Structure 1
């Protein structure tokens, strides 16, 4: 399915098969069980972590997407002629080997074959353990018995990454070897201790690397393995019969296990490696892990557990449309990216992370509304715990250390209220508002109070004209200098806040908080008036005003004339007149909707503007400087659907990864996940993707498909059905759980438009399960 010269999807859509490791950029899998995770490329390179991908990194890894040569590797040596073979393309990059790579949900496989050997290297992360398993199968293709040596290799990091001063960090690592297991500890963790002291805290784990067969030798000395001035592509140590069994405190620490393997003709041997960590000195647990994962059956069992877990997640919401690309992205791959990559791993190849972004993971958690709303509720509560009593919040914070950054970016706190509104519309569980959560600097208060404080904090940050102050940026962090003097104004934030004020006034009424209901309604009206008085530019809305009052995103600007977000959210939140929405949307179509998706703005900035910030310092057309920023592009499609544009699906499809990936040498990034950005027309690489996996666009792109194109939208009084499907779609089926009821929704194109629910025609287009049925069979004639 969707085959190119680099790869294709399996027929069941559960795997992406890469035919050659020489893809335009690393094509990656992010495998995580919610705490432990691995980022691995098609080359076999990558890194592992527990809880936090940057503060608790297990192996060393350097971010270089051109060379991509840092990771955990395996070498197979023919002891008769010293020929080396690697079951992954890196680090040796041999040309006489056929490689195939398979990325699946919770696992990856690396298949390799030359004239003598056929190997299959399988990687998975057990569902409930802090470790990864590498199972290596080696098959002898010759007619003779083969005498082989197999070596594993990784460099220990053990804590904060990158360890930029390696000569410092390596002096704290200690390694030892027993029972075919290399263990490693570190006497320093670059996280403050309980007294706030740096460099005075132990790393709190014991890392291990084991193999299920008796080893012939081993080492934790990098120089022993690579040789002085050696390299991973041709390790000097492998020219010897054995490694030198060097361990302790006085070397640059690695892990390498050496096994001698005799394989008869047409025979297959299996080696099973585990890499992971346990609580410090829990050697019994390491021994137990080694015993558990000592057979092929035990490894395959973990892969099956992962497959079942993901199948259960996926099947809570499924679609069948005439467009296979739409189906495979929305049924499986977008969910997998949003959950495994963004919520559990919070890291990628283009940006290694591990922290929680206050706005980021709240938005990502919308994916759980469709599969397990309780997890969205848990995410809301987690973020509420990282709010201050005055309503302000951390921009991001680190699990493990709980160190956070508090800044003056103006939209962060509002996402708490926004996602709470989304959760309430989905579940109708208003009791959730009464759940008690502490602040960073104060005792428990209800989720409702947390949201009220967030909204009021923003209401206290309005300019003399009644417009929101942008502070150090709004949704676009790159507008980092627009309001540093405390006077710059954000029009996008005005549209966004207006919608929250309106929706939350409904919540206030439900809570019998009539004082805040009245306040929010009045503030919403004043805000709408201010936006329309000061920010309308004639054909579209201005994006922002600098501290000195000059506009950004105006027809008067030579660069950055029109911005996407100021138009899309005016439409989505109805913060202007119908006439202005029409004009703003026509401007979007004229200037920003391009062949590879909606641009963030046009034209790009050709030189830095110190009154705007680092947005203008990107190369023209790159990322936020006039490119498609996929996250915002999804809002462009939602606006198109709101305007009932018959071309909405064409816009949506224009930046769907599976279709963009059909021209991989132009697109570059993986065809199975959304990229963070695509170069705009001001770049010579117009259409090139970048920053894949670690982007908030996956959840939003999914929502855009479900609520925009299919038009199945949660409202206070039920599920609204208002599709904006392409004309060629005559029949569509959607399986959707909503408020503990299974909705089987059948769309059928017809001249006679009506909605039938359990054989009864309803008035209007909102389905309200008043009788609390467990299943509703719905036919939508549209």
Structure 2
């Protein structure tokens, strides 16, 4: 079956087939609310204050009843109408579902306002016929089932809203006070007074069998309070529409600690919701315009200009809606955010840095303040916290173009404060000191590959990846330390990187690849001993400088031979088919899923970065393009992945019919690294503390491209022309004047026109 979808002229996704399945949902959010919404109006709602909690069952229904008794779901769910027209439009700030049947058009739009614990659903009904239409409209929000303490739902006439309340189940007397501060009140406030309402499933659905019209739609809602049963906030309206006329109502829904705090008043005035949408669009455009690219690839443009930016905003500001999360994620997400808004990203980097101990250690897995841990990895030690702290701060400082960030005084988790550069020095030294007798950084309970809990469980195993990554971090910190005037730290960075790279070569080079590491007994894995190859070991050997040019070429050949697929490179091969005590929990994952041999998009982005570091802009672009949801070699009709947000992984078992299917998981470091690779390494417009470094590596066939970047109050318009012979050095003109070298110094606020002539194909 062909999925009927397209990009419209506004850059939004239109879907025309209600049968489309998989990860085809949009996500809308502010700092307090997270909403998922699919093409039928379904999707989970989350509050984030005072704690993260879901407050609905993720189901919503919209019904139209005609005067002759015919009933219709404009959203094509739960009962589609074959003769009706349906489409959904997913935009960055809203989703709108549209249906049309019997000359009646219904538009059902969802937004999350900029502020407040609320979402807004607007229903607009238009009569396109030549005769008046007498209609009944019913909207239903399905709320959680009653807990052990019971629940009650009712229409509050004074507040003008349907309310539902239940108190969380608990045992201890002392639990009352903290639990009373949770959002235990659910509200749905309409902008028009309903004719009837229902507060529970029984009064809306009745005894209707699956696939039947709900009793409350067919016979009307009873308008009576409910208790001790699953809640449903249903509101019903009778209306008569003249030919060509329209009718509209909005529902403001959310969860609050106290119903008097329900944030509805500012949206009840006429035009208030339209004004809020305009403000949402303006705020979004302000973020969007800070970094734009224009290339021969419209899909890459869409992701860099729009959809990756949105995902980075969500990942950074909401910490991926996580409770217990690895702070390596938060750091990389903020690094990506800094690509287009470094000042806004800075507080999120600072928040993670405040979790560092004064000995330099940064625990990787942590739990959001005020929450209870919900992931077992918070009890274990991973070895990469300090490494990512260095990497992500270094990149973000370069994005800001401001070396003074290193002087910021920041706290330690166990007391005291120090300048940021001291935090980074301590992270470097603490990580470097955590080496085993083999000279590698010790594995502990895992590294970037979280479920690899076998090699270092006795405290002796070594991580090749962490060793390479720390060398990379040291290489990033070295020039910043020197520029800041910390010459001894700069020299120390060079010495540490050199020693780690020498250890990597001595311990892990295996003729045509780098092994991943050593287990507690000193046995290597990821080489001829187990017949495997790990993508990250090759990527980071190149990024760290461990690999010579010849070794890098051999690694690249091995990756192409053993890991390359139409969907991008596999994380490892061959997959583990069952329990392997050497690597541990990873081997129990379904072969081809996530860390056990998927096309893990984040790791593929690391490989693209390594290709760019080798000067292979064409290869970097090809790798990046294959992990995009719009990969033409893995069409959305097969992958099941919406083409407007970046997923975590493709299923990697090449012999399985699900090869190439999306994990359907949002929240991935691919986004930050993809932005970095596309803008700074392929297009070659890189922010540094001294200015814009311009060194394009354009893919084959790209004759022109443009990058627009706003940094330090100046808008840089960089036009790139690949019109020089191969191996030519770039020629750069600033406002018509030739530049000596490739660093464009930071200009005063305003606009700066930069014209670049570079070698064709970027080689």
What's the TM-score once normalised by structure 2's chain length?
0.91
Q: Does the Cα contact within 8 Å between 1:89 and 1:99 map onto a contact in 2?
A: yes
Partner of 2:275: 301
Q: How does 1:122-161 map onto structure 2 within 5 Å? A: 122-142=109-129, 144-157=131-144
- Tell me the distance in 2 between the aligned counterparts of 1:317 and 1:722: 17
Q: How does 1:19-58 map onto structure 2 within 5 Å? A: 19-51=16-48, 55-58=52-55
State yes or no: 1:338 paired with 2:307. no
Q: How does 1:65-80 map onto structure 2 within 5 Å? A: 71-78=59-66, 80=67
Q: Does the Cα contact within 8 Å between 1:148 and 1:261 map onto a contact in 2?
A: yes
- Tell me the distance in 1 between the aligned counterparts of 2:524 and 2:295: 44
Q: Does the Cα contact within 8 Å between 2:22 and 2:664 map onto a contact in 1?
A: no
Worse-superposed segment, 660-669 or 454-463: 660-669
SS at match of 1:275: strand
Q: Deviations over 1:469-501 (max 9, x none)?
A: 111111111213332221221111111101112
Partner of 1:288: 265
Partner of 1:181: 161
Q: How does 1:530-545 map onto structure 2 within 5 Å? A: 530-545=503-518
Shift in Å, 1:134: 1.1
Partner of 2:214: 235
Aligned to 2:735, which of 750, 755, 758?
758
Distance 1:469 1:156, change over 3 A: same
- Tell me the distance in 2 between the aligned counterparts of 1:30 and 1:192: 37
Partner of 1:672: 644
- CA RMSD between the two structures: 3.0
Distance 1:183 1:435, change over 3 A: farther
- Tell me the distance in 1 between the aligned counterparts of 2:445 and 2:561: 31
Worse-superposed segment, 590-599 or 489-498: 590-599
Shift in Å, 1:677: 0.6
Partner of 2:692: 719
Q: Deviations over 1:35-83 (max 9, x none)?
A: 223111122110222326982222123xxxxxxxxx22222223x4433
Shift in Å, 1:552: 2.2
Distance 1:716 1:434, change over 3 A: closer
Q: Does the Cα contact within 8 Å between 2:149 and 2:168 map onto a contact in 1?
A: no
Worse-superposed segment, 523-532 or 403-412: 403-412
Q: Does the Cα contact within 8 Å between 2:390 and 2:428 map onto a contact in 1?
A: yes
Aligned to 2:499, which of 520, 526, 534?
526
Q: Does the Cα contact within 8 Å between 2:147 and 2:169 map onto a contact in 1?
A: no
Q: How does 1:600-615 map onto structure 2 within 5 Å? A: 600-615=571-586
Q: How does 1:692-703 map onto structure 2 within 5 Å? A: 692-703=665-676
Partner of 2:761: none
Q: Does the Cα contact within 8 Å between 1:603 and 1:626 map onto a contact in 2?
A: yes
Aligned to 1:374, which of 343, 349, 355?
343
Aligned length: 747
Worse-superposed segment, 252-261 or 224-233: 224-233
SS at match of 1:149: strand
Shift in Å, 1:368: 2.4
Distance 1:34 1:730, change over 3 A: same
Aligned to 1:93, which of 56, 77, 80?
80
Q: Does the Cα contact within 8 Å between 1:720 and 1:767 map onto a contact in 2?
A: yes
Q: Does the Cα contact within 8 Å between 1:51 and 1:399 map onto a contact in 2?
A: no
- Tell me the distance in 1 between the aligned counterparts of 2:216 and 2:331: 49
Partner of 1:634: 605
Shift in Å, 1:116: 4.8
Distance 1:509 1:198, change over 3 A: farther
Q: Does the Cα contact within 8 Å between 2:203 and 2:221 map onto a contact in 1?
A: no
Q: Deviations over 1:725-765 (max 9, x none)?
A: 12321121211123443222111122364222233323332
- Tell me the distance in 2 between the aligned counterparts of 1:53 and 1:143: 52
- Tell me the distance in 1 between the aligned counterparts of 2:429 and 2:521: 26
- Tell me the distance in 2 between the aligned counterparts of 1:173 and 1:345: 31
Q: Deviations over 1:637-671 (max 9, x none)?
A: 12112212244333332333223387222221111
SS at match of 1:88: coil
SS at match of 1:554: coil
- Tell me the distance in 1 between the aligned counterparts of 2:212 and 2:518: 54
State yes or no: 1:578 paired with 2:549. yes
Distance 1:511 1:345, change over 3 A: closer
Shift in Å, 1:132: 1.5
Q: Deviations over 1:434-463 (max 9, x none)?
A: 333333332444333333333333223211
Q: Deviations over 1:503-529 (max 9, x none)?
A: 334444455555544544433322122
Q: Deviations over 1:103-137 (max 9, x none)?
A: 00110100001225321111111223332111111
Q: Does the Cα contact within 8 Å between 1:494 and 1:531 map onto a contact in 2?
A: yes
Partner of 2:629: 657
Worse-superposed segment, 171-180 or 102-111: 171-180
Partner of 1:251: 229
Q: Does the Cα contact within 8 Å between 2:400 and 2:689 map onto a contact in 1?
A: no
SS at match of 1:671: coil
Q: Deviations over 1:279-312 (max 9, x none)?
A: 52425x55624523xx4x3322222222222222
Partner of 1:358: 327
Instruction: Give 5+ residue unaligned stretches, structure 2.
Output: 759-763
- Tell me the distance in 2 between the aligned counterparts of 1:374 and 1:625: 37
Q: Does the Cα contact within 8 Å between 1:52 and 1:399 map onto a contact in 2?
A: no
Q: How does 1:445-594 map onto structure 2 within 5 Å? A: 445-510=418-483, 513=486, 516-558=489-531, 561-594=532-565
Q: Does the Cα contact within 8 Å between 1:461 and 1:468 map onto a contact in 2?
A: yes
Distance 1:519 1:346, change over 3 A: closer
- Tell me the distance in 2 between the aligned counterparts of 1:202 and 1:609: 46
SS at match of 2:147: helix
Worse-superposed segment, 371-380 or 498-507: 498-507
Shift in Å, 1:566: 0.9
Q: Does the Cα contact within 8 Å between 2:339 and 2:676 map onto a contact in 1?
A: no
- Tell me the distance in 2 between the aligned counterparts of 1:28 and 1:321: 27
- Tell me the distance in 1 between the aligned counterparts of 2:581 and 2:657: 25
Segments of 4+ in structure 1 off by > 6 A?
Answer: 189-193, 195-199
Partner of 2:239: 261
Instruction: Give 5+ residue unaligned stretches, structure 1.
Output: 62-70, 158-165
Q: Does the Cα contact within 8 Å between 1:77 and 1:85 map onto a contact in 2?
A: yes
Aligned to 1:208, which of 187, 200, 225?
187
Distance 1:273 1:659, change over 3 A: same
Partner of 1:383: 352
State yes or no: 1:103 paired with 2:90. yes
SS at match of 1:224: helix
SS at match of 1:675: coil
- Tell me the distance in 2 between the aligned counterparts of 1:218 and 1:57: 23
- Tell me the distance in 2 between the aligned counterparts of 1:586 and 1:213: 66
- Tell me the distance in 1 between the aligned counterparts of 2:208 and 2:49: 32
- Tell me the distance in 1 between the aligned counterparts of 2:724 and 2:264: 68
SS at match of 2:343: helix
Shift in Å, 1:571: 1.3
Worse-superposed segment, 457-466 or 225-234: 225-234
Worse-superposed segment, 214-223 or 654-663: 654-663
Partner of 2:596: 625
- Tell me the distance in 1 between the aligned counterparts of 2:497 and 2:177: 47
- Tell me the distance in 1 between the aligned counterparts of 2:136 and 2:458: 65
